[in-house]
Amino acid sequence: MAGILKTAKHILGARAFLKACALCLCVITPGYAAVAGGYLLVPEAVLDVDKGELKKGYGVLVTDGEITAVAPVAELINQSKGTKRIALDGLTLMPGLIDAHSHILLHPYNETSWTDQVMKETWAERTLRAGQHLEATLKAGFTALRDLGSEGAGTMDVGIRKSLDKGVIGGPRLIVAGRAIVATGSYGPKGFDPSHQIYLGAEEADGPDLVRIVRSQIGAGADIVKFYADYRWGPNGEARPTFSLAEMKQIVETAASSGRPVVAHASTDEGMRRAAFAGVQSIEHGDNGSVETFKFMAKRGVIFCPTLAAGDAISQYHGWDKSSEPEPARITQKRETMKRALNAGVTICNGSDVGVFSHGDNARELDLLVNYGMSRAGAIKAATITGAALMGKAGTLGEIKPGYLADMIAVDGNPLEDLSALRRIGFVMLDGQIKVSADLLAD
Ligand SMILES: [Zn+2]
């Protein structure tokens, strides 16, 4: 089989081979070590995501998990002695994509409702599914995830991150939030007689006890702390703020002391305002953010993570036929929100809330960022440079530059002109190791 594929690849060329064999290309190799001496990657072009331009005829040298040189291929000949040359004919090399809002322990709600996943699925099943989700994510060219809450699966996310670090399973870089923190009485699953003990989708805490809970989550392995600044607990089930500003400040101060950032779920303007004032790193969802709040976030350097794909998916689960029906109010409102955010100049990241929809379909968020008003270059920057900052790796991840970590993908086409190129992944390198490539399959 491998011989046949190799022959086919030589006859067709790498680009045509990729098109012909898009589904069978991907080989995940958790333990595949980088070759001694490193690699010289020779793509059609290298994408500079900061400037939003292609560098044609450039090559990239990789040694020990690090990018060591980026220059016209001819200039790299001397330095590349002893390296393995990887020809990426017809492909564009770019930084690995980053999804800054994932839930690897969830799977699409149209398969199983969130409540049933939290209440009926065993942690074993959820963890095994997460392994599959991580594999699909890496195959899709996403080399890093910021996972924002185990949603009722305890600290399984911490165990998964440790398993990745040890090479027990394959998958992208991962930072995790553990259980996440909610105000008592606000979060689900709810609607049960109070005599039942329900294990919630996040951990309850209030007042001074927040200090202890933040510390205990950090002790349990959380890389970041997430809290819900509001939730659907209003008299009519509408979203209303939960924690007071003083409580939010306590969470941020306690986490900051340990060197960890805090992220806030918030969809009300007041919840967002309090969270931004308290000093969170990013605000997730932000559906009802006002211009003033977005301007305040921009001034304070708080990043906005609109999670457009979640609303898009949920609206369709509720019956919206996107191909023929007008947009529901929720989607129209979100478009307005994005306009306000873009006008206010707040930094927007790429975070999809994947788990609500299929893992591996993460590029859906980039499509929507552009559809809702961002430029293609802007969306790509959000999914690389901004994502790297949220991973705690500003200046070392998210660009193809000497000294940066070697997380790179090669795509078929120019994503600055056609975002669908991001769905044609021909090569994935993570930490200097080749994880997906046509060559691996053919060799
Ligand atoms: Zn989420």
Structure token pair of residue 229: 């600044």
- Note whether 2-95+398-442 and 97-390 share their fold: no
Instruction: Specify the pLDDT at position 35.
Output: 66
Does the domain made of 97-390 have the CATH classification 3.20.20.140? yes
Instruction: Specify the pLDDT at position 1.
Output: 39
Q: Which residue has the tokens 């190791």?
A: 433
Instruction: Specify the pLDDT at position 5.
Output: 42
Phi/psi-derived region of residue 15, left when phi > 0, alpha when psi is between -120 and 50, beta in every other case: alpha
Contacts of 68 (CB under 8 A, 6+ apart): 38, 61, 62, 79, 402, 403
Q: CA 389 to CA 363: how far, in whole Å? A: 19
Instruction: Specify the pLDDT at position 4.
Output: 41
Residue ranges per domain, the chain? 2-95+398-442, 97-390
For residue 86, give the 3-state DSSP assignment.
Answer: strand
How, if at all, do strands 39-48 and 84-95 pair? Answer: parallel
**In residues, how long is the chain?**
443
- Report the separation in Å between the CA atom of 268 and the middle of ligand 1, taken as the mean of its atom positions: 15
- Report the separation in Å between the CA atom of 150 and the middle of ligand 1, taken as the mean of its atom positions: 9
Instruction: Specify the pLDDT at position 17.
Output: 43
Instruction: Specify the pLDDT at position 9.
Output: 45
Q: Which residue has the tokens 């994880």?
A: 435
DSSP state of 383: I
Structure token pair of residue 355: 């788990």
Instruction: Specify the pLDDT at position 442.
Output: 41
- Report the separation in Å between the CA atom of 410 and the middle of ligand 1, taken as the mean of its atom positions: 28
- Report the separation in Å between the CA atom of 416 and the middle of ligand 1, taken as the mean of its atom positions: 28
Query: Are the C-beta atoms of 94 and 400 separated by less than 8 Å?
Result: yes
- Report the separation in Å between the CA atom of 358 and the middle of ligand 1, taken as the mean of its atom positions: 13
Which residue in 317, 311, 361 sits closest to 133, CA to CA?
361
- Report the separation in Å between the CA atom of 178 and the middle of ligand 1, taken as the mean of its atom positions: 12
Q: Domain 2-95+398-442: which topology?
A: Urease, subunit C; domain 1 (2.30.40)
Instruction: Specify the pLDDT at position 11.
Output: 41
**Block means of pLDDT (10 residues each) for the chain, length 443 residues?**
42 46 45 70 98 98 97 94 95 98 98 98 98 98 98 98 97 98 97 93 98 98 98 97 98 98 98 98 98 98 98 98 97 98 98 98 98 98 98 98 98 98 97 84 41
Q: CA 45 to CA 54: how far, in whole Å? A: 6
Q: Which residue has the tokens 């870089």?
A: 173
Instruction: Specify the pLDDT at position 439.
Output: 60
- Report the separation in Å between the CA atom of 108 and the middle of ligand 1, taken as the mean of its atom positions: 12
